Amino acid sequence: MKKFSTAGLILALASAIAPLSASAADASAQAANDARCEFLTNAPDQHVVVRGDTLWGISAKFLRHPWCWPQVWGINREQIRNPHWIYPGQIVYFDRAAGRLRLGTATGSGQGQGIPEVRLSPQIRMEGLGRDAIPAIPASAIEPFLSQPLIVDEDELKDTPRIVATQEGHVFLGKGDKAYVRGDLKGGTTFQVFRPGKPLMDPATKAILGYEAAYLGTLKLDRAAKTGNEAHRFVVVSSKEEMGVGDRLVPVPPTPILNYVPHPPAAAVDARIVAIYGGVMQAGQNQVVSINRGKKDGLDLGTVLELYRFGDIIADRTDNKKPVKLPDEQYGTLFIFRTFDNISYGLIMQVTDAVHVGDVAKSPE
């Protein structure tokens, strides 16, 4: 399979340069980061941000590993948690002397030697800001997964509202159909519909990590029940899969603000691919997989892991066919965009081979 390059990974960019820690441990970590965050030999002097750009794509113009751009921007952990925005019309400059990227607007003619004079223009993150900002990952790739699928315990959905009847003559429901629901709505009017799904099993321990509830669509309340033994009437707003009697309702969560800044995990992570979303056997770029590590293991939004395939064990024909293990081969990058306690979902980036269940996802080396 030829190399894929996924354009898109950042919704946030900071224009302030964070001071480095003076401690020996931090200095050592910074040196390691600088060593792996190499600039391309043919990196341009600058890039004018245009609509349709992505920050992963912009960083790929300058860096061998686009995901490690926070180091070359000098962004600290606090800025990663509360980043700024970058917009079309701004200019990314390569400060070769400092080994840093900088964001600003040229105030001079840009002629002559050296870096043009730059006016830095930090923009404070505000609610509603970011409509025109450069996106982190193509919205179509991850938006359906920000509130679905749902990882639940075995009995977690048993007390949620449920569909008890469908529109007359309909076995399954589609867009515009009526559904009759019983249960406590707790004041909600818009719900997502899920069907309790398959267990997700840890490839290493064989323990059940949780249950992936299949997302079916969205319902909106049309008429609330007037008495305790009456059903609520809903209308199907959207339908991804057919829904019917017994399917469960979960309130639609608030729309998240997508502030994703790629970064290595704070502590070493050695995970395995649990499943490929959709039940297929292998995956490629822009597909979603789940791994057997989550919030409890320190994973958060924007964590970047490298994908590896286990090296084969072969018979050494030069030494009486003694078994020898070949090295694990790194073949891609995984970007984590949703986390649960024991499971995380990631978008596959920059792969040179197909992704299979059981493959390794671990901290970048």
Task: Choose among 63, 78, 77, 90: nearest CA to 9.
Answer: 63
Q: Within a domain: residue 62?
A: yes
Q: Within a domain: residue 335?
A: yes
Alpha-carbon distance of 82 to 309, in angstroms, equals 34
Contact 63, 72 (CB under 8 A): yes
Q: Which long-range contacts (CB under 8 A, 24 or more apart) does 100-105 make?
A: 100/17, 100/72, 100/73, 100/74, 101/59, 101/62, 101/69, 101/72, 101/73, 102/15, 102/17, 102/73, 103/13, 103/14, 103/15, 103/73, 104/15
Do you find a cis peptide bond into 149, omega within 30 degrees of 0? Answer: yes
Choosing from 137, 166, 187, the residue where a domain stops is: 137
Q: Within a domain: residue 81?
A: yes
**Owning domain of residue 320:** 264-362
Q: What is the pLDDT of residue 25?
A: 43
Q: What is the pLDDT of residue 14?
A: 30
CATH number of the domain to which 301 belongs: 2.40.10.410
Q: What is the pLDDT of residue 67?
A: 76
Sheet bearing 118-119, strands edge to edge: 46-48, 91-95, 100-106, 118-119
Q: What is the pLDDT of residue 64?
A: 82
Q: What is the pLDDT of residue 241?
A: 84
Same domain for 122 and 187?
no
Same domain for 270 and 240?
no
Q: Within a domain: residue 204?
A: yes
Q: Within a domain: residue 352?
A: yes
Same domain for 84 and 116?
yes
Tally of structural domains, the chain: 3
DSSP state of 307: E
Q: Within a domain: residue 9?
A: no
Same domain for 32 and 74?
yes
Residue 225, judged by CB atoms within 10 A of its CB (0-12, 13-18, 19+), counts as: middle
| Phi, psi for 258 (deg, rounded to 5) | -90, 80
Cα angle, residue 176 at apex, residues 175 and 178 outer, rounded to 5° = 110
Structure tokens given for 333: 């990058």
Q: Within a domain: residue 112?
A: yes
Q: What is the pLDDT along the chain (365 residues), one digit of tens a residue?
A: 444 343 333 333 233 223 333 344 444 444 445 556 788 999 999 999 888 787 777 888 898 887 776 677 666 555 545 455 678 888 888 888 888 888 776 554 343 333 344 444 333 333 334 567 776 666 666 666 766 667 887 778 888 999 999 987 777 888 889 999 999 999 999 999 998 778 899 988 999 988 888 889 899 999 999 988 999 999 999 888 889 999 999 998 765 555 567 788 888 999 999 998 877 788 888 888 999 999 999 998 889 999 999 888 999 889 888 999 988 889 999 989 889 999 999 989 878 899 999 999 999 87
Q: Within a domain: residue 98?
A: yes
Q: Give residues with Cβ within 8 angstroms of 322, minimum separation 6.
A: 315, 316
Q: What is the pLDDT of residue 82?
A: 47
Q: What is the pLDDT of residue 111?
A: 39
How many angstroms separate the most distant Cα atoms in the chain?
Answer: 82
Q: What is the pLDDT of residue 130?
A: 55
